[in-house]
Amino acid sequence: MPFHWKQEELKFNTALQRLQHRLGETRLLREALQPGSEAGQVSLHNLIDAPANGTGPSEALATLLQETVGELEAAQALVLKRIQIWKRQQQLAGNGAPFEESLAPLQERCENLVDIYSQLQQEVGAAGGELEPKARAVLISRLDDVLRTLVTSSFLVEKQPPQVLKTQTKFQAGVRFLLGLRFLGAPAKPPLVRADMVTEKQARELSMPQGPGAGAESTGEIINNTVALENSIPGNCCSALFKNLLLKKIKRCERKGTESVTEEKCAVLFSTSFTLGPNKLPIQLQALSLPLVVIVHGNQDNNAKATILWDNAFSEMDRVPFVVAERVPWEKMCETLNLKFMAEVGTNRGLLPEHFLFLAQKIFNDNSLSMETFQHRSVSWSQFNKEILLGRGFTFWQWFDGVLDLTKRCLRSYWSDRLIIGFISKQYVTSLLLNEPDGTFLLRFSDSEIGGITIAHVIRGQDGSPQIENIQPFSAKDLSIRSLGDRIRDLAQLKNLYPKKPKDEAFRSHYKPEQMGKDGRGYVPATIKMTVERDQPLPTLEPQMPTMVPTYDLGMATDSSMNMQLSPDMVSQVYPPPSHSIPPYQALSREDALTAFPESHLQIPPNLNQINLPFDQPHPQGLLPCPSQEHAVSTPEPLLCSDVTMAEDSCMSQSVGGFPQGTWVSEDMFPPLLPPTEQDLTKLLLEGQGESGGGSLGTQPLLQPSHYGQSGISMSHLDLRANPSW
């Protein structure tokens, strides 16, 4: 027990002993004033100073009773303050603060005061003849106020409902009446406790002294909202537990300004009534839960938790519901974040001053490196969870809550072992690691993503200079597939955890044991391992043909066109242009041409500059007729000149240049074509002879600029037949 609690308990026990002593004095004085009392048995002249103050025994009795009632009121104030402290501690526990939930000490104090009240009431009644009517009425009124306040204050919410409450979701709550064992006994019909949802405005009205005596109108429909208030002799308590509460729907009230639904606070009002004592004095008890936020969808949970966190942390005792400061000191915010982190993650390792410096830089958008810069600053609710962080798409709390969730689900043991620095900026990481040896790394929470952790490590550039590489952040889903420890083990470039701890020594306890051999079912185990794709320049490659689907028009029937798919392994090696001169083209007679088919020949791809359609879209014109040729190509002697045109029925979305001039292509680039008929061959040869006579072909080079655009190869006079056996 803390020292101040021991002091408070000692103070109350002293007040209780003084009350009991005062009661004894009052009893003796009253008995001395009764007729027929023996002076030898009761001598109270030493208890009252009649000669000094000039008062008689009756006046002394009235004064003594008034002083005793005053001390009872003072002792009651101590109990009420302790009850308020218990409520405040219960609220702070919602953020992770330690909390002694037991109400037994408070119940004992309340019962002791009720016993004192009963004895004092008897003394006032017994001294009726010795007291003036006015003084007696004042004493009775003061005693009644003590009892009423004590009874109404001893009805508490022992088990709070969830402070972020989702509709159509079951929840539990419980209340306790600290004086139930004294006043209720074992009634034939125990009183019922009712649970109703109230708005912030209704809660304020209830807190006023002239507030409504009856239950307020419910702002939401709660199912299973009545439970009997019963005494439990084994538990020495009087309580009511709601096990199956369900908020079916909620009626939203008008909000203030830019307030969102996740900033709207409500509460559950627990109420009951019964009669007290032989006079059947009506007693009505009400207890208000902690403020809660009602949500209807899971995506509202994050912002609702921010509202509750702020209210729990920065509200005051005895406030008007549910007023809370709009701006608080940064130091208090640090305490709150630390409590929340430790409680949510489930660790005794809290945040360090360096972590608070990073958090201050983030929430204030200030890169100052001095902690004193932020020591006396204050943070507003808007900065906490309304304003979007600079250059990001989320608020400070949304980012921090993502870290909480990730650490709680996947990184608790790593954080508890101090393997994660976590809250550190990318710029500060650079200053830490820049002078460290290769393979030094550290773990930090992603600054640009919600709920991500990344590995920053030192590598050497091509010039030997140190560089800091940040690996793509891992989410909770990623770490559920392969743990952080195993991912670190997978990366051989990671050697030492900053500053100089070998990674196997640091993370060995977090490695998953590797299975050797077959498992019990006879299967060989398979393992997923992580690699890192580096952004390094690749070696220069020789030009290659892109994948394409051309259609060849051989002047035959339309069903004789061929589609051909090229893949990288079908593209032959590209050679530089030949250094020897190319002989001029000599026109051949029909007889010579029929015997001049080579065993292998040159094959040239189409001009890719004209491919403008998707690969899977056919040419809108189908097979094209052979156009008249304006240019001819001089070919080596083995080549035959024929009018074979190629119509592309597919294309690329971007312009692709053709082969550079002087480039030769191997013979196995295209698959063999279907053999044409003898009539087709004759027609092709005759057309070729006719065009060869129309101009000088021998003066044109083999490769020339295409008249369709950039550099390309004219395809009109190339023999694409694979074998003379056609």
Asked whether the whole model's pTM tops 0.85, one would answer no
Tokens linked to 651:
């294309």
CATH entry, 325-537, from 2.60.320.10, 3.40.1190.10, 1.10.238.10, 3.30.470.10: 1.10.238.10
CA 179 to chain centroid, in Å, comes to 44
Dihedral of CA atoms 155, 161, 165, 171 in degrees, nearest 10, equals: -120
> Which helix (H) or strand (E) segment is 104 a member of?
helix 104-126
**Rounded Cα gap, residues 101 and 287, in angstroms:** 17
pLDDT attached to residue 574: 41
> Pairing state of beta strands 170-177 and 237-250?
antiparallel
Residue 453, phi-psi category: left (phi > 0), alpha (psi -120 to 50), beta (remainder) = beta
Report the chain (726 residues): mean pLDDT per 10 consecutive residues. 79 91 87 62 47 62 90 95 95 94 94 94 84 88 92 96 96 96 80 94 85 63 94 88 94 77 95 82 92 94 97 94 96 97 96 95 89 91 96 96 97 96 92 92 95 94 87 95 95 93 94 79 84 61 41 38 40 43 47 45 44 44 43 41 39 42 44 62 65 45 39 38 38
Q: Map residue 610 onto helix, strand or coil.
A: helix
| DSSP-assigned states of every residue in 16-73 | HHHHHHHHHHHHHHHHHHSTT--TTT---TTTS-HHHHT--HHHHHHHHHHHHHHHHH
Strand partners, 328: 379
pLDDT attached to residue 211: 57
Tokens linked to 23:
């009661």
CA neighbor of 636 nearest in space, from 613, 677, 664: 664
pLDDT attached to residue 76: 96
- Looking from the CA of 465 toward its CB, the CA atoms found within 13 Å total 2
**How would CATH label the architecture of 3-153?**
Up-down Bundle (1.20)
Task: Outline where 260-370 has alpha helix (H).
Answer: 301-314, 330-345, 353-364
Instruction: Specify burial of residue 677 (Cβ count, 10 A radius: 0-12, 13-18, 19+).
Output: exposed
State the residue for tokens 């690691």.
433
pLDDT attached to residue 281: 78
What are the backbone angles phi and psi of residue 175, rounded to the nearest 5°? -120, 160
Check residue 474 and report its DSSP letter: B
**Is residue 74 within 8 Å of residue 11, measured between CB atoms?**
no
**Is residue 238 within 8 Å of residue 274, measured between CB atoms?**
no
State the residue for tokens 């292509």.
665
**Rounded Cα gap, residues 210 and 197, in angstroms:** 20
What are the backbone angles phi and psi of residue 172, rounded to the nearest 5°? -120, 160
Cross-sheet strand order for the sheet of 192-199: 226-228, 192-199, 266-276, 281-288
**Do you know the residue count of the chain?**
726
**Rounded Cα gap, residues 479 and 403, in angstroms:** 14
Q: What is the CA radius of gyration of the chain?
A: 46
> Which helix (H) or strand (E) segment is 116 a member of?
helix 104-126
**Rounded Cα gap, residues 611 and 654, in angstroms:** 8
**Rounded Cα gap, residues 713 and 701, in angstroms:** 11
**Rounded Cα gap, residues 249 and 169, in angstroms:** 10
| DSSP-assigned states of every residue in 624-671 | PPPPPPS------TT------EEE-S---SS----PPTT-B--TTSSP
User: Domain map of the chain by residue range?
Assistant: 3-153, 157-314, 325-537, 546-726
How far are the Cα atoms of 77, 702, 721 from residue 601, in angstroms, in the given order? Answer: 110, 14, 8
pLDDT attached to residue 596: 45
**How would CATH label the architecture of 157-314?**
Sandwich (2.60)
Q: Which amino acid is at 569?
A: D
What are the backbone angles phi and psi of residue 52, rounded to the nearest 5°? -70, -45
| DSSP-assigned states of every residue in 380-446 | EHHHHHTSPPTTSSS-HHHHHHHHHHHIIIIIHHHHHTT---BS--HHHHHHHHTTSPTTEEEEEE-
